[in-house]
Each structure stands twice: as C-alpha cells, then as structure tokens.
Amino acid sequence: MSAEYHEGYAQPSERPPHTGISRRSGSGLVLLVVAVLVAAALNWITVDRVVYLPGPLYDTLGTLDDEPVVSVDEDLDTYPTEGSLYFTTVRLDGGPGEEVTAWEWLRAGLDPSRSVYPREQVFPPDVTAEQVREQNSELMRHSQDDAAVVGLRAAGIEVPEDIVVAQVIADAPADGVLHVDDQIVRVEGEAVTDTETVRSRLQAVEPGESAAITVLREGEELEIDVPTKRDEETGRTVVGVYLAPRYDMPYEVEVQAGNVGGPSAGLMFSLAVYDTLTPGALTGGASIAGTGTISGQGAVGPISGVQQKMFASGQAGADLFLAPVANCDEVVGAEPRGLAVVPVATFDEALGYVEQVAAAQDGSSPDLPTCEQVLQEADDATSTGG
C-alpha cells in the first residue's frame, strides 16, 4: 500500500530526528552558566574602593532651581553678560555607607572617564556620611566667602579683613597661650595684613625662642610672648595654630550651589562675581569651564577629580577648561580632544586667560599655556638646580 504525499507536507525521514545536545552547544551552555555565576558573584562581592565619575556642570552666570547661582547686593551696579562660566562637579561611589561591587570596580578600570582609589586615600577611617556632608557644606561656605572677596576686590571694591586664630593644635607651643578667635594684630612689631605676614614674621624668630605677638581678645589688646618650635617637615618656625581671615563684607554676595559641597568651585564663583560687577561679557560669549579652590588672596589650589571634570566639560562642548597648576600631573595625557586646558595658579591668571579667549572670538588664536609646558619647566628647573 503506497502513501500519498501532498504539497506543503514533509516527506518522512529515513531516520528519526536528532534530539540530543551537540558537544559545541553543550560547551556554550556551560560557558553561559559560568558567565552568569561570575556576573552574579561580581555584583555580590564588594571592594574597598572609591570610584570617581563625571558629575554635572552648572553655569555660575545662570540659575539653579530657578534661583541665580550668583547674586550681589542690590546697592551694587551690575551688568548683563553672555556666555558661560561653568563650575564642574564629580560624583563619588563608595563613600561612607556605600559599597562598590567588584563589577563596578572592573567596569571603572575600563572606562577612561572614571578613576578608582583605595578608600583610605579618600576618606578618614570611621568617618560617617553625615560628617562628610557637614564638612563639605562648611568647605563650600568658606569657598563662597573667599570667592566673593576675590571677585569684589578684583572689581575695585575694598574688603577689610582681620586674621584670627581658627584652631590651636593640642600640645603645640601656643596651646594655652593663644585662644581661638584671638585677632592677630602684630607679630614681632609688624602690623598683620594677611596670614602670610604672620608666617613670614615668625621666621625672624629662632625656633625655641618666644615670638612677640599682639592680639585683640574680647576687645582688649594684649602683647603675648608665644613659645615657638621648629616644624620637622618644613624647618620653619611655628607656634602651632591655624589662622583664618575674618572679612568685614561691605556688600552681600549670595551663591546658590544646590546640594553641591566642597571647596572646588571657588575659582569659578569668583570669576562670576567679577563678571557680574563689571561692564561687558567677560567670556565674550565663549563657554568656559573650570575648577579650583580660591583663597582670599586669590591663590588657586588643587582639587580632586580633575580628569572627570575635564571629561564632562569636553562632553558639554566647553571652549576652555581652567585647571589648577597643582593638578597638572593628572591633566597631562587625560585632556579630552578639542578641549583647551589651561593651568592657573591665581585668580589674576585665570582672568587674563578668559579675557584672551573672549578677545579671540573674532577668529584669532590666543596664546595659552599648557600643563605639559608647566611640568617641563619644572623638570628643567630641577635638572639645572634652579
């Protein structure tokens, strides 16, 4: 008896279909299972590391949460501007109360926009997340005060200041002799105008001898003989106190930074204050980003996360990035393509470079230094004994 086969139906095979798993398929399945188990383990195992990631940029000439980032006293003349002066941020994973998984650690090591550090290099042992937030808030407040002073002074507005004792180090020569909030009036007969005056005058005293320091304490002027010692690291004459400026602000300057903490936006805040108080657009319409702490005397200090801040600035299309000179060793080799990175040591330097970029909006090329040049000059000076 013969069978009939119709179109659309398969004819019967001469042998039954194969239902087993081939060696290649089995190996692939095993590898898949192993990969899933490894991935699960990497997401479960934690490492004692902190990962730095690029954070958002904020325009100091713009608004944040519908409030101006920088605003000044209504009694001051202000001027319209254009362009952008971005302060940059960095995000940290693995801080107090947080964990970094092995997977996040490996991923960060393959991502050029991220950096990984041992946790003990970033945070003191046993510090809490609340303590970190409080410290960063305090650092931000001081940064804003110093930036306001620098911006006002650069715009020609006088800001008086006193130098006070901020902290007396336990068991230091000054312990029990100088008090917190003592205003330093004179050191070795010279009137004090800034913290550097105090440090330089102390060098006229031999370590172990007493320094004549005049202070204003609770309204009374006192001349005190303060013991000194030699600092083992620097060889300088010290008394063992931390000094801080106390400003007599003639006008109110407010900075709205949202939930951003730390001191690293000081330079950009000071430029924004200056731009607000002076005619014309400081940037000439250019997009300027940067970072760096600022002192009341206009010195720009180092920060952390400079590579992440450069990366974010490059992604945002900034024309120029201002970086602290002290961070140049981290800058070289990490500059994003198309982003000009300029090292600065002072507010005045930063101001001059921004003005050069503004002037170059007509198509000319500004003559700007690079971190590579800074490091090469330092190497040359070391090799020649300079």
Note the pLDDT of residue 94: 85
- Domain containing 214 equals 161-247
| Domain shared by 311 and 335, yes or no | yes
> Residue 265 sits in a domain of what CATH number?
3.30.230
Local structure of residue 178 (DSSP, 8 states)? B
Q: Is the pLDDT of residue 33 over 80?
A: no
Classified as helix, coil or strand, 2 is coil
Task: Give strand pairing partners of 101.
Answer: 46
In terms of Cβ atoms closer than 10 Å to its own Cβ (0-12, 13-18, 19+), residue 55 is middle
| Domain shared by 194 and 108, yes or no | no
Note the pLDDT of residue 25: 57
Residue type, 138: E
> How confident is the model over 165-179, as a mean pLDDT?
95
Note the pLDDT of residue 5: 32
Q: What percent of the chain has pLDDT over 90?
A: 67
Indicate whether 33 belongs to any domain.
no
Note the pLDDT of residue 53: 94
Structure tokens at 200: 């330089």
> Residue 225 sits in a domain of what CATH number?
2.30.42.10
Indicate whether 207 belongs to any domain.
yes
| Domain shared by 278 and 148, yes or no | yes
Q: How confident is the model at residue 10 (pLDDT cuts 50, 70, 90)?
A: very low
Note the pLDDT of residue 55: 96
Local structure of residue 16 (DSSP, 8 states)? P
Of 36-45, 127-136, 146-155, which range is least confident?
A: 36-45
Of 37-51, 61-75, 228-242, which range is least confident?
A: 37-51
Q: Is the pLDDT of residue 44 over 80?
A: no
Mean pLDDT (the chain, rounded):
88
Indicate whether 172 belongs to any domain.
yes
Q: How far apart are CA 216 and CA 223, in angstroms?
A: 9
Q: Is the pLDDT of residue 269 over 60?
A: yes
Taking the chain, what is the end-to-end CA distance rounded to the nearest angstrom?
109
Residue type, 349: E
Indicate whether 266 belongs to any domain.
yes
* Contact indicator for 178, 226 with CB cutoff of 8 Å: yes
| Domain shared by 151 and 180, yes or no | no
pLDDT digits over 58-107, tens only?
A: 999 999 988 999 999 999 999 999 999 999 999 998 888 888 887 777 78
Q: How far apart are CA 82 and CA 59, in angstroms?
A: 11
Indicate whether 48 belongs to any domain.
no
pLDDT digits over 133-165, tens only?
A: 998 998 999 899 999 999 999 999 999 999 999
Q: How far apart are CA 244 and CA 195, in angstroms?
A: 7
Per the structure, the count of domains in the chain is: 2
| Domain shared by 219 and 94, yes or no | no
